Amino acid sequence: MDFALFKKINDARMNYREMEDATVVSSYRNVGCGDGYRIYLKIENEKILDASYTTTGCGFGIVALAMATEIAKGKTVEEAEKLTEEDIEKAFEFPERRKNYPQSAIAALRLALQDYKEGKGISKDKRITGTKALQMLKENGHLRNCELSSIILEKQNLDGVDFSGSNLHNAFLQNNSFENANFEGANLRGAFLNGCNLKNANFKGADLRWAKLTNANLENADFTDALYDIGTRVDAKNLHIFEKMKKVGKDLYLSKELV
């Protein structure tokens, strides 16, 4: 493994960005680790002019997606469909225990290409970027009852913001401060809240099925009647929040799997 190249790609987050004029935007979840991926492709005359991604994942996920999007650029849709994880590893070889990352990156790229051909993916009317959401917040003073599915907001101060009733399904909300924020009744299913400051936040009746809240500050946050399931992950020290929540589905993850 070329650690110098790994660090260079990871630090630069090559191709990591939202694409405002993407032809197709496709969401993918790495079932192995639960990370969320989003692939953006700009396609004209069946040729990929640009490709980017966002992810909630670790450095290996970032590098794999960076390489997958980089090698897709300039190729036709048909050519890109034939790419494999071996093509990624021609430029960067992954450790044996991390081979699933290039595999997942290629799977995400193929899904995006399939979504393009079938006219699927995230529809344009639902592509609310982080920049657009912050503009809406500035204009209205709240983000209540908004369509914010799959939005990306990271490292923002959103203390006290009202998100009640909003659709934040699959939203990427890592490392934000939401102290005293209101998420009552919001759809946060599959949302990523890792590393967030959620002190005193209101999650009453929110849907937190398959949501990720690891490394988050949950001090005095209210989870009364919020929904959770086997995919809802918190740190072991925060397991007490489930006492006030409503369980949906089968067994909860074991404590040791929540760390």
What CATH number corresponds to the domain at position 191?
2.160.20.80
Judgement on whether residues 112 and 228 belong to the same structural domain of the protein = no
The whole-angstrom separation of Cα 17 and Cα 38 is 10
Question: Which percentage of the chain shows pLDDT scores above 90?
Answer: 65
Assess whether pLDDT exceeds 80 at residue 47: yes
Q: Is the pLDDT of residue 259 over 50?
A: no
Cβ contacts of residue 73 below 8 Å, gap of 6+?
48, 49, 50, 51
Q: Which two tokens stand for residue 196?
A: 């967030």
In a domain, 8, yes or no: yes
- CB contact at 8 A, 223 and 243: no
Domain co-membership, 98 together with 132: no
Q: Which of 13-22, 101-110, 230-239 is predicted least confidently? A: 13-22
pLDDT at position 251: 46
Dihedrals phi, psi of 255, to nearest 5 degrees: -55, -40
Same domain, 79 and 135: no
pLDDT band for position 258 (cuts 50, 70, 90): very low
Residues 66 and 141 in one domain: no
- Interval 49-87: pLDDT, tens: 999 998 877 789 899 999 999 999 999 999 999 999 999
Token pair of 94 as six digits:
């992954």
Task: Give the pair of three-digit tokens for residue 126.
Answer: 């639902």
Task: Tell me if 170 sits within 8 A of 147, measured CB to CB.
Answer: no
Alpha helices in the chain (DSSP H): 3-12, 59-72, 77-81, 85-91, 100-118, 130-140
Output the CA torsion sign for 27, 238, 195, 57.
negative
- Mean pLDDT in the chain? 90
Same domain, yes or no: 250 and 133 = yes
Total domain count for the chain?
2
Average pLDDT over residues 136-141: 97
**Which of 66, 88, 118 finishes a domain?**
118
Instruction: Tell me if 123 is assigned to some domain.
Output: no
DSSP 3-state of 14? coil
pLDDT > 50? residue 243: yes
- Of residues 203 and 32, which shows the higher confidence score? 203
Task: Please say whether the beta carbons of 92 and 67 come within 8 A.
Answer: yes
Query: pLDDT value at position 93?
Result: 86
Give the model's pLDDT for residue 254.
39
pLDDT at 252 over 50: no
Tokens of 213: 């809240």
pLDDT score at 250: 54
What per-residue confidence (pLDDT) applies to 30?
75
Question: Which domain covers residue 144, as residue numbers?
Answer: 128-259
